[in-house]
Copies of this chain bind each other. A is one copy, B any other.
Amino acid sequence: MAGTMSFLQTLQGRRGDRVPIWLMRQAGRYLPEYRELRTRHSFLEMVRTPELAAEATLQPTRRFGFDAAIIFSDIMTPLEALGIEIEFAPGPIIRRPLRVRPDIERLELRDDPAPYVGEALRLARAQLPEEIGLIGFCGAPLTLAAYLVEGGGSKDFEHFRRLLRADPDAMHVLLNRLTELSVAYVRMQAGSGAQAIMLFDSWAGLHDAATYAEFGVPYNRRIMEAAGDAGAARIAFALGASHVLDALAEIPCDAVGVDWRTDLAQARRILPGRALQGNLDPAVLFADRATIEREARRVLDAASEVPHVFNLGHGIWPQTPIEAVSGLVRFVHSYTR
């Protein structure tokens, strides 16, 4: 059957007639049935209750016919296993940020990371049609460290970048702890039904290439190797990372997720042999239908020579019109190379 398993086949390097599509943050606030769930449950309650997380995971595939589902969670979720308390408002807030070395050296893996995510994956996999892929994910250590040191999101992440420069050894201690956690976490997810693991390096773009090569790449490599050993396909996504594509090429993975600013032709040159995932600007979904289709076609054409999973170049925005999403899915599925 045309299209069956097109998502995983594409990650495996096979180019079919039909381009598979899913959208980052497809389980979330732009979706009326998700907002309805949220009237009764907090974000953290949903993440930690397997039945609710599985339901949020499945909602967008039911409505739109996406080719993959991504588990409803957050990159900060497994950090509780290190004894770190995190709130969401909606971005992560860490009331006791890690600013000095003793706080970092005190971290240790106390529990299995987020076992409820494993249960949610099992529930989702059992309900998903076989031909739809299921994606687990984790945050890149350097991105998790950015939040943990800064205490939350930030424009310039001054505390974090200052610590990295003033005490690089402490930063490596932190990155090692986060990597050990993440390796355990992706193994658990792969063993619980996640057929692909996506690594989100949302703040890779803060760093120059030499810094990213030292503090980002080695840790990302260990996580992706663990995911591969556990039998999962692997997607590496880095935001604002046009200037570190050479370093990204050093991370073992099947596909690279590219943000809306990354030139697909350049990504093809620097990342030979990888599938590409992306990269429509999420803002385009607020334009008229003709503009959406023109911009989607530009992405499809630019990636037509490589295995390509269509996606946005960043998470879908909460205000996005539902009909723009359904129109995009129809358009991508009707596109033939």
Say if the beta carbon of A209 comes within 8 Å of chain B: yes
Say if the beta carbon of A334 comes within 8 Å of chain B: no
Say if the beta carbon of A176 comes within 8 Å of chain B: no
Say if the beta carbon of A9 comes within 8 Å of chain B: no
Q: Which of B165, B243, B288 contacts A242 (CB 8 A)?
A: B243
Q: Return chain B residues, CB-CB under 8 Å to A319.
A: 158, 162
Q: Return chain B residues, CB-CB under 8 Å to A166.
A: 286-288
Are A263 and B209 interface neighbours, CB within 8 A?
Answer: yes
Are A156 and B207 interface neighbours, CB within 8 A?
Answer: no
CB within 8 Å of B: which residues of A?
A: 153, 155-156, 158, 161-162, 164-166, 205-209, 211, 240, 242-243, 260-263, 281, 283-284, 286-288, 291, 314, 317, 319
Given contacts A153-B155, A208-B281, A243-B261, 15 further A-B contacts (CB under 8 A): A156-B314, A156-B317, A161-B281, A162-B283, A162-B317, A165-B283, A165-B284, A165-B291, A166-B287, A166-B288, A206-B261, A208-B263, A211-B281, A243-B243, A243-B262
With A155-B153, A243-B243, A319-B158 known to touch, is A207 a contact of B261 (CB < 8 Å)?
yes
A99 smallest CB distance to B (angstroms): 12
A210 smallest CB distance to B (angstroms): 8
Are B286 and A162 interface neighbours, CB within 8 A?
Answer: yes
The residue of chain B having its C-beta at the shortest distance from the C-beta of A298 within the complex is: B210
- The docked-state distance in angstroms from the alpha carbon of A196 to that of B137 is 49
Are B317 and A208 interface neighbours, CB within 8 A?
Answer: no
Q: Return chain B residues, CB-CB under 8 Å to A286.
A: 162, 165-166
- The docked-state distance in angstroms from the alpha carbon of A164 to that of B260 is 15
A218 smallest CB distance to B (angstroms): 19
Are B162 and A205 interface neighbours, CB within 8 A?
Answer: no
Q: Return chain B residues, CB-CB under 8 Å to A158.
A: 283, 317, 319
A114 smallest CB distance to B (angstroms): 25
- The docked-state distance in angstroms from the alpha carbon of A209 to that of B259 is 12
Are A263 and B243 interface neighbours, CB within 8 A?
Answer: yes
Q: Return chain B residues, CB-CB under 8 Å to A209.
A: 261, 263
Question: Could you give 12 example pairs across A and B, Cβ below 8 Å?
Answer: A153-B155, A155-B155, A161-B283, A162-B283, A162-B319, A165-B283, A165-B284, A166-B288, A208-B261, A209-B263, A211-B281, A240-B240
